[in-house]
Structure 1
Amino acid sequence: MWVIWLATPNTKLVIAIVDKTVLTSEGQEHISLNWVLNHEKYTKTSEKPYKVSHDYFGFFPEDNEKFKLKGLERFSFSKLSQLSNDADLAYFTDTYGIYNNEWFQEGDDKERSGILYGGLSDKDIQLLKLMKEKGKLVITEFNTIGSPTAYENRTRFEKMFKVRWTGWTARYFDNLNPRENKEIPKWLIRNYKNSHKGRWPFKSSGIAFVNNKDQVVILENGTHLNNSMPHIETNEKFQNTYELPERIKYPFWFDIITPDKKVNSVVSSFKIDANNKGLEELKKFNIPSEFPAVTEHIDSDYNFFYFSGDFADNPVGMNSSYFSGIGYFKGLFYDERNTMERSSFFWNYYKPLLTTILQQYSEKGIN
């Protein structure tokens, strides 16, 4: 399998990868993208492969709390124009950024503090505009236009690609008891208590929704949900187009957007399996129980995808990407019985989706 992979010819594909949330050199927030690029033999030159720790624009961690900022913010317009000519596609994997308490050791990484670096910048918007004008492929993910992106740049993005962020972000938690689950952010608990007389009564699994006004809505399994795990569902047309399963769980961060369906198509949708009490709670805050997971615009004018989840952030190792046909053994890399299993999402959803997108884009002729 390794020999076959080694013998497979490279395909040069120049990608402007933007990731502003890189806490370690492992590049967890874009490693799934690199896995697909390496496995499919997409390279930045005719010979050089993409490196997780090197080939992106954004935050570069160093030792002893030092870092370098190598984002598009340092580019002049002429350099951005040149980049848009050179790049075949732009992929914004994460613009959430790095906060002071996450980077500097004296902070509490479950609290929110002043931002060190992050948000969709003016230069990011300029590159996206140039890529769209030139008919290049643009892929963006969860939180590209969420906090801490400024309202003006969010609005520019929304007008450019005909999608609107509702202001809501959410995540599944397998245990809502803060004493037992340290993954629950303290700010989320505090904001909920502030509007519920200091109460946090949740002990089971569930979904936490939070908006840009710090409102928090909790749906708990049994009380509000028939099945606490969010699922992504894909209709038959797109199952065939992108080799996707009809239904798959997604236990991580996602946001709720509203696309203009006159311009964009919904490839897959999130489904929240709420009971009557849960639906009433969602209705109070105008939160839908079904909303886009993948939105696309594929036409002669431009090519655009929005992934409404943190899709490129999955616990996968690069070693397996060096073996041709490794997908036939994907069942060895995950355990469906684990409710928080995210590797299965990579193998069964993200990998075929991105592989097909890149293959179709390459076949129709890269600009």
Structure 2
Amino acid sequence: MFLFWFFTPSTKWVAAIVDKSVLTPAGDEHISFTWLLNQKRLTKTNADRYQIDHDYFGFFPKDNDKFRIKGLERFSSSQLRQLSEDADMAYFTDTYGIYKQEWYHKNVGETVGFGMLYGGLSKQDLDFLQLMKEKKKLIITEFNTIGSPTTKENREKFESMFGMRWTGWTARFFDNLDTSVNLELPHWMIKNYNASHQVKWNFKKSGIAFVNEEGGQVIVLEDQNHLINPIPFIRSSELGQVKFGLPNEIKYPFWFDVIVPDTRINVVLSEFSLKTNATGLAELKRNGIPSTFPAVIMAKSGYSPFFYFSGDFCDNPIHMSASYFKGIDAFKFLFYNDRDPMERNSFFWEFYRPLMNQILDDAINKPKASINSVSAN
């Protein structure tokens, strides 16, 4: 399998990857895409493969709490224009960024203070995306591209550019909401919940926590009390299943956001489905949150090729070593146990990989045509 992979001819495919949330050289926020580029023998030059710790724009960690920032912010207008000429596609995997308190780990507030080191969708990012759109080149973005800390002005420009709107809500499934058991529950989330509810955080089961950017409002749906099944699922349309090889339904236990697409421009390939009971549905309605909302949207035929993934789709706990074997997907069942509600490897193998495979194949094989050749009306 390695020899078949090694002797498969490579194809030069220039991907401009933007990741501002790289805490370690492992590059968790863009590893899935780099894995796929390597497995498909797509190279940044005629010979050089993509390196996960090198080939992206954003935050670059170094030893001893040192770092380098090599984002698009350093590019002039002419350099951005040249990059849009050179690049075959753009993929914004994460712009959440890096905060001082998570980077320095200790002595925060004493010597380095709080706040953001780097992050948010910048003017240069938007200018580059606009140039790529004008050239009708493939653009893929995902959560968190326009959430905090992106400014409202830049978010609105992105929304107008691509025909979608973020509601301000983000959410995540937790397999245990008991603070005495799950020590990884975000402290700020519990603090915000207690500040806005008369009844303090006292959840004991699994569930989904929703956080609103405006004011930090927190809503919790707990298993049995609000949910028939606590795990969020992604359900795919007929187009998503037939064209992109997506499963009818798959669990998704990680961060996601709630968006509203302009259906005149975009089509929904997949959507999140929450298994609520009557109490949970009423709680969602009271806070203006739908029980189903887009997971993957795609620009309709005739528009510049664009995809938005409403989740941390590129962040999966996979290993690059498996990408060096052709036909490795025949053994994908060995890489995950989908009975574990928190595992995300099955999402990579059953959803992300077939989706991205088809997107890339269409873009590479039909570079002069819209990749959205299937009618989405």
TM-score (norm 1): 0.97
Is 1:325 matched with 2:336? Answer: no
**1:164 alignment counterpart:** 165
- Aligned in 2, Cα 1:107/1:221: closer, same or farther, shift over 3 Å? farther
- Aligned in 2, Cα 1:50/1:298: closer, same or farther, shift over 3 Å? farther
> CA–CA distance in 1 between the matches of 2:48 and 2:301?
31
Q: CA RMSD in A?
A: 1.3
Offset from partner CA, 1:258-279 (integer Å, 9 cap, x none): 0000110000000011100001
> What SS does the aligned partner of 1:231 have?
strand
**1:36 alignment counterpart:** 36
Contact (CA 8 Å) 1:135, 1:300: kept in 2 or not? no
**1:143 alignment counterpart:** 144
1:24 shift after superposition? 0.2
1:298 shift after superposition? 4.4
> CA–CA distance in 2 between the matches of 1:15 and 1:86?
9
**1:134 alignment counterpart:** 135
Contact (CA 8 Å) 1:100, 1:107: kept in 2 or not? no
- Aligned in 2, Cα 1:107/1:42: closer, same or farther, shift over 3 Å? farther
**1:195 alignment counterpart:** 196
> What SS does the aligned partner of 1:209 have?
strand
Structure 1: any 5+ residue segments left out of the alignment?
none
Q: How does 1:80-119 map to 2 (within 5 A)?
A: 80-106=80-106, 113-119=114-120
Contact (CA 8 Å) 1:88, 1:366: kept in 2 or not? no
**1:61 alignment counterpart:** 61
Contact (CA 8 Å) 2:265, 2:303: kept in 1 or not? no
Contact (CA 8 Å) 1:295, 1:307: kept in 2 or not? yes
Contact (CA 8 Å) 2:226, 2:278: kept in 1 or not? yes
**2:24 alignment counterpart:** 24
**1:282 alignment counterpart:** 284
Contact (CA 8 Å) 1:90, 1:137: kept in 2 or not? yes
**1:5 alignment counterpart:** 5
Contact (CA 8 Å) 1:225, 1:278: kept in 2 or not? yes
> CA–CA distance in 2 between the matches of 1:113 and 1:310?
25
Contact (CA 8 Å) 2:297, 2:309: kept in 1 or not? yes
> CA–CA distance in 2 between the matches of 1:156 and 1:177?
40
Q: How does 1:274-313 map to 2 (within 5 A)?
A: 274-313=276-315
> CA–CA distance in 1 between the matches of 2:107 and 2:196?
26
Offset from partner CA, 1:83-103 (integer Å, 9 cap, x none): 000000000000000011100
1:300 shift after superposition? 4.0
**1:246 alignment counterpart:** 248
> CA–CA distance in 2 between the matches of 1:182 and 1:80?
44
> CA–CA distance in 2 between the matches of 1:10 and 1:355?
15
1:25 shift after superposition? 0.4
1:254 shift after superposition? 0.2
Offset from partner CA, 1:164-223 (integer Å, 9 cap, x none): 000000000000011211221100000000011361110100000001120000000000
Contact (CA 8 Å) 1:38, 1:50: kept in 2 or not? yes
**1:273 alignment counterpart:** 275
1:154 shift after superposition? 0.1
What amino acid is the match of 2:195?
Answer: N
- Aligned in 2, Cα 1:54/1:260: closer, same or farther, shift over 3 Å? same
Contact (CA 8 Å) 2:10, 2:43: kept in 1 or not? yes
> CA–CA distance in 2 between the matches of 1:206 and 1:188?
14
Over 6 Å off, 4+ runs: none
1:366 shift after superposition? 5.4
Aligned mate of 2:220, from 209, 218, 221: 218
**1:52 alignment counterpart:** 52
> CA–CA distance in 1 between the matches of 2:107 and 2:351?
36
**1:179 alignment counterpart:** 180
What amino acid is the match of 2:264?
Answer: K
Offset from partner CA, 1:147-177 (integer Å, 9 cap, x none): 0000000000000000000000000000001
Q: Paired residues, what number?
A: 364
> What SS does the aligned partner of 1:139 have?
strand
> CA–CA distance in 2 between the matches of 1:63 and 1:102?
15
1:105 shift after superposition? 2.0
> What SS does the aligned partner of 1:84 have?
helix
> CA–CA distance in 2 between the matches of 1:160 and 1:208?
30
> CA–CA distance in 2 between the matches of 1:57 and 1:245?
32
> CA–CA distance in 2 between the matches of 1:247 and 1:42?
29
> CA–CA distance in 2 between the matches of 1:107 and 1:345?
38
Identity value in percent:
57
Contact (CA 8 Å) 2:265, 2:300: kept in 1 or not? no
Q: How does 1:342-361 map to 2 (within 5 A)?
A: 342-361=344-363
1:127 shift after superposition? 0.3
**2:258 alignment counterpart:** 256
What amino acid is the match of 2:244?
Answer: Y
